Structure 1
Amino acid sequence: MKNRSEFVYDLRSMGLLGHPGEWERVNTTLPAPADLRIEVIGVAEGSPLTLELKFESVSEGIYVSGTVSATAHGEDMRTLDAIELPVDVDINEMYVYERAEGDEDSYVIDRDQLDLEPVIRDAVVMALPFSPSKDRSEDFSFTLGEDLEADESESESPFASLQSLLDEKKES
């Protein structure tokens, strides 16, 4: 585990290690790590990454929850214009003291330290749009010729014939 990364937190100095029920808030802005991107859009290395997290000590480890915010830069997939999109992702992750046998997905507390970089990387990269667009609309709409005006008269209603049957029964 990296010793000098700003994403590594010492749980012993925070007073969380082995104290279930204790918690600590972390509100900070850090420079984004490298490779926080997909092919067409990403968060530039060194750009501000805002963390608003809560570390909760539980018997199995440390539960980290909160949000990570950044700004992604890339290209609009339709126009290839430069695009800037805000990225806000929720973090809800359990760091365990010891990984269970066969469990390769859990994040582990290593030497009383918790590294947030892999969790943040996973969450931010998964939140990036595969087809970024300035208008944020996924609906494709088009018009051919003139717009048709809908006339909602009773005679064109699909229930008009049923209404006439009801009227006949009332008359008899």
Structure 2
Amino acid sequence: MKKRSEFVYDLRSMGLLGHPGEWERVNATVPAPADLKIEVIGVAEGTPMNLELMFESVSEGIYVSGTVSTVARGEDARTLDEIELPMDVDINEMYVYEQAEGDEDSYVIDRDHLDLEPAIRDAVVMALPFSPSQDGSEEFSYTLGEDIEEGESESDSPFAQLQNLLDEKKES
């Protein structure tokens, strides 16, 4: 028999199924599933993921909110050095009892069980930076040549000659 995923919760045993207004806190540490990554950074399979979640029963289904904390590893986009990036990702998802026609984006409660893995996968992968850097900044900055000092005259500007030509044209 296949072992049930650590991301699947039995709503009946939690007392939430069909009881709007009831809620339950879930604090757990689970191993990360495979393929939580993008090109240069990701969460390795088996890396501990700390779940601090609240399951709230509402008339349409179960609302899950909270935080997933883990560590992503990859390469600095500028230096290609190995980096570790601690992540705290917010989860705010509605799991519905019945999926509306044409709605393919909702998460569905299947046989009284709620599977968090797809929602966690979506949230974590979307939170990964496209250009990770050691200093945490995704902005690209550079410096070329010498800094321009304030107070330089306009005649030192490379555009001074162009400005003179425009001024001459206006005078004529």
TM-score class, shorter-chain normalisation, is 0.7 to 0.9
Question: 1:142 Cα deviation (Å)?
Answer: 1.4
Where does residue 28 of structure 1 map in the other structure? 28
Question: 1:84 Cα deviation (Å)?
Answer: 0.6
* Residue 38 to residue 146, structure 1, CA distance change in 2 (3 Å): closer
Name the CA distance, whole Å, in 1 between partners of 2:66 and 2:38: 23
SS in 1 for 2:78: coil
Where does residue 6 of structure 1 map in the other structure? 6
Where does residue 103 of structure 1 map in the other structure? 103
CA deviations on 1:35-87 (whole Å, 9 max, x unpaired) are 11111110010011010000000000000000111100000111110011011
Query: Gapped runs of 5+ residues in structure 1?
Result: 152-172
Question: 1:146 Cα deviation (Å)?
Answer: 4.7
Matches within 5 A, 1:1-172: 4-137=4-137, 138-142=139-143, 144-146=145-147, 148=149
Where does residue 154 of structure 1 map in the other structure? none
TM-score (norm. length: structure 1): 0.82
**Amino acid in the other structure paired with 2:97:** Y
SS in 1 for 2:136: coil
Question: 1:141 Cα deviation (Å)?
Answer: 3.6
Identical amino acids, percent of aligned pairs: 79
SS in 1 for 2:90: strand
Name the CA distance, whole Å, in 2 between partners of 1:66 and 1:75: 28
Name the CA distance, whole Å, in 2 between partners of 1:150 and 1:54: 60
CA deviations on 1:120-172 (whole Å, 9 max, x unpaired) are 00000000011111112214041522562579xxxxxxxxxxxxxxxxxxxxx
Name the CA distance, whole Å, in 2 between partners of 1:46 and 1:150: 59
Per mean C-alpha deviation after superposition, the further-off stretch among 141-150 and 67-76 is 141-150
**Amino acid in the other structure paired with 1:63:** Y
Q: Which runs of at least 4 in structure 1 moved beyond 3 Å after TM superposition?
A: none
SS in 1 for 2:12: helix
Query: Gapped runs of 5+ residues in structure 2?
Result: 153-172
**Amino acid in the other structure paired with 2:113:** Q
**Amino acid in the other structure paired with 2:32:** A
Q: Across the two proteins, how many residue pairs are aligned to each other?
A: 150
